[in-house]
Amino acid sequence: MTSAEKRSISAWLEASARIVDVGDEAPFLREARSQALATLSGQSLPTRRLESWKYTSLNEIAKIEWAAPRGPLQKNQELPATPLSRQAGLRAGLIDGRFVTEPETPKYQGARLVSLSETRTGELAPSGCLDVLGQVADLKRHFFTALNTALLDDGACLEIEPNAQIAEPIHLSIVDSKSQTLSCPRLALKAGAGSRATLVIEHLTFGDGPRLAAFVSEIIVEPQAELDLILVQREESESFLASNLYARLEQHGRLRVHTLTLGGRLVRNEVVSELAGQGAEVDLRGLFIGSEDRHIDHQTTIDHAVSHCTSRELYKGVLGDSSRGVFCGRIIVRPDAQKTDSQQSNPNLLLGEKAEIDTQPQLEIYADDVRCSHGSTIGRLDPEALFYLQSRAIGPESARAILTRGFAQEIVETVPKAVGHPQLESLIAGALEAATAQAFGEGP
């Protein structure tokens, strides 16, 4: 089959069932793919009849015919530079799923960022990534993870060496460059014991036309390692993104994920983290900003498998126009997970008359000595705060803009400084402007 061939997703599924391996695959990859193919056989795109897709319709995706870019990478692909990537030390990209690096990658102390296809031919063989790939993701539960795995032939492997302390952010751009194209970017990441690092994953699209990215990341945070992930989702307005992130945290491992959803037509985020070692801490923070009729869906699962783990979760939504948000926060506390300390909160700001949010916690607690709290709010701007600013000579339009930025700022504050706060703030300001243009356009 050629890379230009376009099919509906269901036709892709049928075709992929017939894809036999391309020959040079390492056995582990062949196995992962054949499992994914088996899982997908007879399946189609999830529909709203499924509980986990109740609020999100994939009809638009089903209607489009997609090309899936396989085969060799085009020559001279360049990594796009962005304000965020300029803050990075080590960087690479997945362009239409294909690993691209800078022409001359300097040797980097403490971290290796290489192509999955290199891994697979065994040339560099960062063994760490082989422990991760296919080991953390849940093929059975998540359609787009199965799809990604079935079509997998490249990706990024990031290995942070044990005890490496990397202050500069590492940057991975995920670029969808072609219209009407399905890409399956993949990341395997191992944060070695006692290491400390920050990875920025920035989603971009270039040009017009719909794109569909089924992005899967798998992460293992080894004992005492500390990892910061910043997902910056800022695709163009015709893009579809399913981002499925799976993390396993070992003893005293710490993971903080900031998911900033600033663009895209439909974005579905699955974040699944398993607290598998005592003393592990996960902190999930999200900011999602909707304008026009964009749709942003967050599904998170925090699985407290053992005792003495901590989880924090704060997702903030700003929804303008007729945009729609979904937040479903599942927290599982297994029978052994005594002394669990878990907090979840999802405050939302509805700015558009027709904007909507569906928010629900889902607590499954099977241990008794635990502290779990959760809460969500849906509101408009605080009239007291608005009056306070106005009483200080600030006009209502500016006052609303200031308060909305203030609402979002809480999420930015915890991003490591080295990522570039001014850069992030300006991206967020752009998204907020779009979300508030109509709502605040005419002041009273």
Q: Which of 393, 422, 441, 442 binds other proteins (CB under 8 A)?
A: 393
Map residue 146 onto helix, strand or coil.
helix
Distance CA 268, CA 121 (A): 32
- What's the closest the beta carbon of residue 105 comes to other proteins, in angstroms? 39
> Does 390 interact with other proteins (rule: CB under 8 A)?
yes
Q: Which residue has the tokens 């296919």?
A: 134
- What's the closest the beta carbon of residue 440 comes to other proteins, in angstroms? 14
Partnered with residue 227 across adjacent β-strands are: 197, 255
> Does 398 interact with other proteins (rule: CB under 8 A)?
yes
Q: Which C-beta is closer to other proteins: that of 207 or that of 406? A: 406
> Does 442 interact with other proteins (rule: CB under 8 A)?
no
> Does 406 interact with other proteins (rule: CB under 8 A)?
yes
How many residues are given for the chain?
444
Please answer whether residues 331 and 309 qualify as being in contact, where contact means their C-beta atoms are separated by less than 8 angstroms. Answer: no
The one-letter code for the residue type at 110 is: G
Distance CA 222, CA 100 (A): 27
The one-letter code for the residue type at 19 is: I
Pairing of strands 111-115, 156-160: antiparallel
Q: Which of 402, 418, 429, 437 binds other proteins (CB under 8 A)?
A: 402
CA angle 182, 289, 61 (to 5 degrees): 25
> Does 385 interact with other proteins (rule: CB under 8 A)?
yes
Instruction: Give the binding range for other proteins (CB under 8 A) out of 238-246, 331-339, 397-405, 414-422.
Output: 397-405
Q: Which C-beta is closer to other proteins: that of 251 or that of 404? A: 404
Q: Which C-beta is closer to other proteins: that of 310 or that of 404? A: 404
> Does 429 interact with other proteins (rule: CB under 8 A)?
no
Q: Which of 408, 415, 431, 439 binds other proteins (CB under 8 A)?
A: 408
Distance CA 238, CA 145 (A): 21
Q: Which of residues 187-216 bind other proteins (CB under 8 A)?
A: none
- What's the closest the beta carbon of residue 213 comes to other proteins, in angstroms? 31
Please answer whether residues 285 and 411 qualify as being in contact, where contact means their C-beta atoms are separated by less than 8 angstroms. Answer: yes
- Positions touching other proteins (CB under 8 A) are 382-385, 387-396, 398-399, 402-403, 405-410, 413, 444
